[in-house]
Structure 1
Amino acid sequence: MKEDINPPKAKGVAMAIVPDEKEDGTSGWLVYFINLRVENLEGVLVRSNGYGTKDGKQVKTSELRHFLDEVPGFAAAPVETIVEDVFSLNNQYWVSYWEGGQMYDRKFVFVADVIQESNFSKIPILNKQGVMIK
């Protein structure tokens, strides 16, 4: 059964994690889904979780699900905030969306300790510095 469901890999999309300064002056981090395509994407589902080793023990975070009704072409949508405590874990994002009646699917993994300033680059569309996987 599961072998029968094999959606094509999503292309022209990215995930990014960027520093975010809040209105009260405190800082945090935001995770974005980025549509690098001309077409609007509908029914975007993003599942997130973290996993790895912390203090010598296997750790797995809760899985969160986020639904984005529509993401316009060449646009970014905030998905969730992320805390620095989980940067030492692998942070995984499964993205699924519909386009032209076809479902597309892709996994993005920010490996442990990759989210640091030395790995920053300019994120297109957002015009901010951060870490992006496309």
Structure 2
Amino acid sequence: MKKDIIIPKVENVYVAVVNEYNDIYKTQDWNAYIINDKDVDLEMVLIVTSGYSEEKTTSIFRKKLDVLPKKSYAKIELMQEDLFALNNTFKVTFFEGNTMYDKTFLFRKNTINLKALQPIPLMKAKGVLVK
């Protein structure tokens, strides 16, 4: 039954939206990353993203990573600045060993901006982080 299902707490896994320079197009871009700050690899990482407000809802974007090595990060998607006026969710599911973990990371509307930049773990970049 429901009381028998144990969902462990996700720790040391983050989602960050980073403002970085794109050498190819010579632009400043906002990119979303998943960060594994654990000492173990994450397997079968599934990420489902969407944005919403009372009036608008974006398409659902899905990404799968077979393995996210320990102490590493991977790009999820490029984000257009128009999306920052919406609440943006990143639903992350992964396996650590034989245990499944699940967490929803939420960037509330208008929280992704240049004034909110902070150092991002494992990356030599600044961005907005959700733990």
TM more than 0.5: yes
Q: For structure 1, which runs of at least 5 residues remain unmatched after alignment? A: none
Percent identity over the alignment? 37
| Matching of residue 66 in structure 1 with residue 67 in structure 2 | no
1:1-134 superposed matches below 5 A:
7-23=7-23, 24-53=25-54, 58-134=55-131
Q: Cα distance, 1:61 vs. partner?
A: 0.6
The RMSD of aligned alpha carbons is: 1.6
Mapped to 1, the partners of 2:35 and 2:104 lie a distance apart of: 14
Q: Distance in 1 between matches of 2:3 and 2:46?
A: 21
1:73-95 deviations in Å (ceiling 9; x for gaps)? 11111011110011000000000
Cα drift, residue 26 of structure 1: 1.6
Q: Secondary structure at the match of 1:87?
A: helix
Give the partner amino acid of 1:103. M
Distance 1:110 1:73 in 2: 24
Q: Which runs of no fewer than 5 residues in structure 2 stay unpaired?
A: none
How much has 1:6 moved relative to structure 2?
Answer: 5.4
Aligned to 2:26, the other structure's residue is in SS state coil
Residue 9 (structure 1) shift: 2.9
Q: Distance in 2 between matches of 1:15 and 1:129?
A: 13
Q: Distance in 2 between matches of 1:132 and 1:92?
A: 13
Secondary structure at 2:56 match in 1? strand
CA distance in structure 2 between the aligned counterparts of 1:51 and 1:40, rounded to whole angstroms: 31
Q: Distance in 2 between matches of 1:80 and 1:12?
A: 20
- SS of corresponding position for 1:59: coil
- 1:8 positional shift: 2.2
Tell me whether 30-39 or 16-25 shows the greater mean CA deviation. Answer: 16-25
- Take 1:17 and 1:110, find their aligned partners in 2: how far apart are those partners? 9
Q: TM-score normalized by structure 1?
A: 0.90
Separation (CA, whole Å) in 2 of partners of 1:60 and 1:86? 10
> Which stretches of structure 1, 4 residues or more, deviate above 6 A after TM superposition?
1-4
